[in-house]
Amino acid sequence: MSDTINLTYDVPGDDFTRAGEASSDVKGVLKKLGLSPQVVRKVAIAMYEGEINMVIHGGGGQITVEVTPDAVTMRLADHGPGIRDISLAMQEGWSTAPEEVRNLGFGAGMGLPNMKKYSDEMEVISEVGVGTTVNMKVYVA
């Protein structure tokens, strides 16, 4: 694998049943490229948590993924309400998710902490009323 691969996904904001399709597709692509199962799983989980967040909080958005021989870089951008206090949002168990989201199995305040746990680099850029962008990188080597 020598070339850079770029993937782009539109994440619909109103369809919970389809959340995870992009992450599933990326997982398949990385598997085919022959990346190690550990790396594939780290990318899949980090991206999946982010994708779920985009649907339950962000009203959908766009995900771009760049695969190079050194790393998988993900950029998840939504146009949702934004995060008022990022350090608070990074704490395990802290959540603004409404009850109906918890009933779906998410919204336990583990999304961002899990994304940080499974990525090797992570940056959250957010502006209230404008949206949130999460950049994550998982090293391949």
State in angstroms the smallest separation of the CB of 95 from another protein. Answer: 9
Query: Does residue 34 bind another protein (CB under 8 A)?
Result: no
Q: How would DSSP label each residue in the chain? A: --S-EEEEEEEESS-GGGTTHHHHHHHHHHHHHT--HHHHHHHHHHHHHHHHHHHHTS-EEEEEEEE-SSEEEEEEEE-SS--S-HHHHTSTT-----HHHHTTT--SS-HHHHHHHH-SEEEEEEETTTEEEEEEEEE--
State in angstroms the smallest separation of the CB of 52 from another protein. Answer: 7
Among residues 7, 16, 68, 75, which is the contact residue for another protein, using CB under 8 A? 16
Hey, which residues between 72 and 131 contact another protein (CB under 8 A)? 102, 104-111, 113-114, 117-118
State in angstroms the smallest separation of the CB of 3 from another protein. Answer: 26
